[in-house]
Chain A
């Protein structure tokens, strides 16, 4: 399963990298290339998510669950993979729901921010995977420069967990209200 996981991992990496690039072009550029990027983004995002799901499933066969949860590197790999998937799932839905309008105004800013965030997260996921496969890259130096030693588990203190949950609630509540209103 190890070889299968390594092989499958190329798909989300490629599709998501392309998707983030297409978002930048689709939002920031004008002309035919921007139009093409806007039109083709959704299938690329969907293929990336499907590739990621297959990659994640195959990843559980590489080592036992006990081993996966025992190592800082595998824990970090899992966390970043889940967060990456969540970001690109958001993008899939927002682009699907928003259509061409998703690229304009402040909605375009949302796509750019999420596209860059997703790229950062899947780059970290891939870097951690490289370490686990015994082939680390120089990219590891960047998170270290920014204060995170990849060999230590990414976890936050309890008070930050609280802040994150509060921020989640604060963001979700107005959205729920708005969604309810539009359904009436």
Chain B
């Protein structure tokens, strides 16, 4: 080999490594509805929060960007003589946009210490709903507690100690132990504002997470508008009160929402469904009927107009500091609490949300988020926003995080908080990679070997050019 082959060899080696550099990270990650896989285009998003209290009530104000609002949720469209559902919980975004925006907030008072360190991760148990390995519906339905007592077919958010073995979704501890856990405060309050199913009637849903994600006691702000026996809605718009029998599909799927118009069906203007009406192709009746919440589930109210405007939702909720309800976490002046937030946008449901790391809230005490004190009337919101970053969490569950497969498991056992080693952008990427763990690991190993082969080939090619001049020994 002559020396003039050297540039060619170097160029070949650099082209190979350069090609690896510019194409790295491609070829594996893709959406696959059959495996419950959908990766959002944006992995992080901002959320702004303000909190205020007056000693009796507490206000939370949330503001977040989204290109367009989604207030229509779960619609029944008249098609070829039948009422067809548009808006069942999808993998990724609902393609027709009929899935509501949401902001949710988990709350703890210190009774669930791991929550303050790891946030919502502790609620993500084994084989959860819409994970690629989600527990089969039949198995959940046959479970003596989750299926037969609660009537569930999916594993939802739950706390680790509600399972005998945290890595087994079906190892729910017995009922007396669950009751004792809740009585001792081992549960998370869940504020759950829904743009479609609660906001229009000035309500937020109110739930709690223990061994399952429960609704609080009482009546929720919506019920299902479906007559299963006759496969049609139970209620429709009162034509005398509203001047219409139904919405129109073209309005439901339009990009802009008339917040002053009718985009929901509520008890106040609903009448029993009339099957004899001359229903037209494209008529739409919401599959959810809104109503006044009652009892503990009706504790949280919307303040003012919670509307989307100029690319942002601006939502304010209010609740008594202490509702006196066993399924709520009470706040008190001089109290210190842990919060974690989540936003659903772009017509997504289930696990396709953006979540936050845990943040502390202080009512007169030092914390990440400081609640301002209102002396009279409502908050003036003069304090600055608390800015935080939400991220797509992917498929990372608590059993994995405390297992040997997680390098930080020992840190968790030692009580080191998640923020000591991780930040939101990093966790978003990790979450996505977890969804393709096996494929990525295989491709990574092949890449490692291919790189070594390329370097070895380059070495063998270059070696004669060096041997020709010197046959051994140190310089």
Q: Which residues of A contact B (CB under 8 A)?
A: 38-39, 41-42, 63-64, 66-72, 74-75, 78-79, 82-83, 86-87, 90, 93-102, 105-107, 109-110, 113, 117, 132, 134, 146-149, 151-161, 163-165, 167-172, 174-176, 178-179, 182
- In B423-443, which residues have CB < 8 Å from any A CB? 425-426, 429-430, 432-433, 437, 440-441, 443
Q: Which residues of B contact A (CB under 8 A)?
A: 1, 3-7, 9-10, 12-17, 19-28, 404-407, 409, 420-421, 425-426, 429-430, 432-433, 437, 440-441, 443-444, 446-448, 450-475
* Given A155-B28, A155-B440, A174-B5, residue A169 in contact with residue B463 (CB < 8 A): no
Partner of B24, one of A110, A156, A174: A156
Partner of A156, one of B433, B447, B452: B447
CA distance A161 to B454 in the complex (A): 10
Contact B450 A161 (CB under 8 A): yes
Task: Considering the complex, give the chain A residue whose CB is closest to the CB of B421.
Answer: A134
CA distance A161 to B23 in the complex (A): 10
Q: Could you tell me the distance in whole angstroms from the C-beta of A5 to the nearest C-beta in chain B? A: 13
Contact B463 A168 (CB under 8 A): no
Contact B466 A98 (CB under 8 A): yes
Task: Considering the complex, give the chain A residue whose CB is closest to the CB of B453.
Answer: A168
Partner of A39, one of B9, B451, B475: B475
Contact B9 A146 (CB under 8 A): no
Contact A167 B469 (CB under 8 A): no
CA distance A28 to B325 in the complex (A): 79
Contact B470 A100 (CB under 8 A): yes
CA distance A176 to B426 in the complex (A): 45
Partner of B441, one of A63, A75, A164: A75
Which residues of B have CB within 8 Å of A106?
Answer: 3-4, 6-7, 465
Which of B3, B429, B455 neighbours the largest number of chain A CB atoms within 10 Å of its CB? B455
Which residues of B have CB within 8 Å of A146?
Answer: 21
Q: Could you tell me the distance in whole angstroms from the C-beta of B462 to the nearest C-beta in chain A? A: 6
Partner of A160, one of B20, B440, B461: B20
10 contacts between A and B (CB under 8 A): A72-B433, A90-B455, A96-B474, A97-B463, A101-B469, A155-B28, A156-B26, A159-B27, A161-B450, A164-B16
Task: Considering the complex, give the chain A residue whose CB is closest to the CB of B471.
Answer: A97
Which residues of A have CB within 8 Å of B17?
Answer: 117
Partner of B407, one of A67, A168, A179, A182: A67
Which residues of B have CB within 8 Å of A70?
Answer: 405-407, 437, 441
Interface of chain B: mostly helix, strand, loop or mixed: helix
Interface of chain A: mostly helix, strand, loop or mixed: helix
CA distance A134 to B5 in the complex (A): 45
Contact B12 A170 (CB under 8 A): yes
Which residues of B have CB within 8 Å of A165?
Answer: 450, 453-454
Which residues of B have CB within 8 Å of A171?
Answer: 9, 12-13, 454, 457-458, 460-461
Which residues of B have CB within 8 Å of A158?
Answer: 27, 443, 446
Q: Could you tell me the distance in whole angstroms from the C-beta of B113 to the nearest C-beta in chain A? A: 22
Q: Could you tell me the distance in whole angstroms from the C-beta of B389 to the nearest C-beta in chain A? A: 14
Which residues of B have CB within 8 Å of A79?
Answer: 444, 447-448, 451
Contact B3 A149 (CB under 8 A): no
Which residues of A have CB within 8 Å of B451?
Answer: 79, 82-83, 86, 164
Contact B22 A147 (CB under 8 A): yes
Contact B27 A175 (CB under 8 A): no
Contact B472 A164 (CB under 8 A): no
Which residues of A have CB within 8 Å of B5?
Answer: 174
Contact A71 B13 (CB under 8 A): no
Task: Considering the complex, give the chain B residue whose CB is closest to the CB of A72.
Answer: B433
Contact B10 A110 (CB under 8 A): yes
CA distance A157 to B409 in the complex (A): 31
* Given A99-B474, A109-B7, A147-B21, residue A167 in contact with residue B12 (CB < 8 A): yes
Contact B433 A107 (CB under 8 A): no
Contact B475 A42 (CB under 8 A): yes
Contact A86 B450 (CB under 8 A): no
Task: Considering the complex, give the chain B residue whose CB is closest to the CB of A143.
Answer: B21
Task: Considering the complex, give the chain A residue whose CB is closest to the CB of B12.
Answer: A167
Contact B21 A148 (CB under 8 A): yes
Contact B1 A178 (CB under 8 A): yes
CA distance A83 to B453 in the complex (A): 10
Contact A75 B469 (CB under 8 A): no
Which residues of B have CB within 8 Å of A174?
Answer: 1, 5, 461
Q: Could you tell me the distance in whole angstroms from the C-beta of B398 to the nearest C-beta in chain A? A: 15
Which of A151, A164, A178 neighbours the largest number of chain B CB atoms within 10 Å of its CB? A164
The 7 closest A-B pairs by CB, nearest first: A157-B27, A168-B457, A101-B469, A98-B466, A99-B470, A171-B461, A178-B464
Contact B407 A63 (CB under 8 A): yes
CA distance A113 to B463 in the complex (A): 15
Partner of A154, one of B14, B447, B472: B447
Q: Could you tell me the distance in whole angstroms from the C-beta of A137 to the nearest C-beta in chain B? A: 15
CA distance A171 to B463 in the complex (A): 11
Partner of B19, one of A96, A148, A149, A163: A163
Task: Considering the complex, give the chain B residue whose CB is closest to the CB of A78.
Answer: B448
* Given A38-B475, A147-B22, A157-B23, residue A167 in contact with residue B462 (CB < 8 A): no
Which of B9, B15, B407, B467 neighbours the largest number of chain A CB atoms within 10 Å of its CB? B407
CA distance A64 to B410 in the complex (A): 12
Q: Could you tell me the distance in whole angstroms from the C-beta of B271 to the nearest C-beta in chain A? A: 55
Contact B24 A182 (CB under 8 A): no
CA distance A89 to B62 in the complex (A): 57
* Given A67-B405, A100-B475, residue A155 in contact with residue B444 (CB < 8 A): yes
Contact A90 B475 (CB under 8 A): no
CA distance A153 to B27 in the complex (A): 12
